[in-house]
Amino acid sequence: MNLRMGLGPLMVCSALFGVAQMASAQPKITVINLQRAVLESAEIKKADADMQARYKPRSAAIEQLQKEIAGIAQQLQANAGKFTQQAEAELTAQGQKKQRDLQRLQEDLQADVERERNDVLQKSTLKMSDIVKKIAEEKGYDLVVDISTSIYFKPAMEITTDAIAAYDKAYPVTAAQPAK
C-alpha cells in the first residue's frame, strides 16, 4: 500500500514535468525564397532555354515584320509628295496590314509563351513544395515560411540553396535528344 501511494504522486510529477518540457520546447522555424528556389532550379533554366529555342523562329518573323514596317514608313517619309496618290495609298495600306499582322503575331506569341511558362512554373512549384516538405521533415522543422512574408530572419535560417540542390537531385535535367 505504501508503495502505491508513493508511486502515484511520483507519476503525476513526471507527467507534469513532461508536459512542461513540451510546452516550453522552441519550435524549429526556417525560411525559403520559394520563387528563387524554383527559378534557379536546373529544370526551369533548361525549360527557359528550350522555350527560347522553340519560339525563336516566331520572334525572328516578328523582327522581320518590324523591319518591313519601318522600311515602308521610311519610304513614305523620304518620298513624301513624290508618289502618286494611288501609290502612296497602296503603300500606306500595305503598312497598315503589316502592322495588324505584327500585332496578331505578337499577341499570339505572348499568349503561347505565357501559357507554357505558367504551366511549367506551376508544375515546378508543386514539386518544389514537396521537396521543401521533405527537407522540413528530415531536419525537424515545425514551420517553413516564405521570405516574402518575413520582415526579418537570420541568414542561417534560410534553406533556399538546400532546396535548389535537393530539387536538382530529385529532378535531374536530361540533355535534349537530337532530332532524327
Give CA angle at 105 (103, 107), nearest 5°: 65
Cell reading at 20: 512542461
Give me the tens of pLDDT residue by residue for the chain, a chain 180 residues long.
444 444 444 444 454 454 445 455 789 999 999 999 999 999 999 999 999 999 999 999 999 999 999 999 998 888 877 888 898 889 999 999 999 999 999 999 999 999 999 999 999 999 999 999 999 999 999 999 999 999 999 999 999 999 999 999 999 988 654 444
C-alpha 46 chain-centroid distance: 13
- Which domains, and CATH codes, for the chain? 26-170 (3.30.910.20)
pTM confidence score: 0.71
CB 117 within 8 Å of CB 54: no
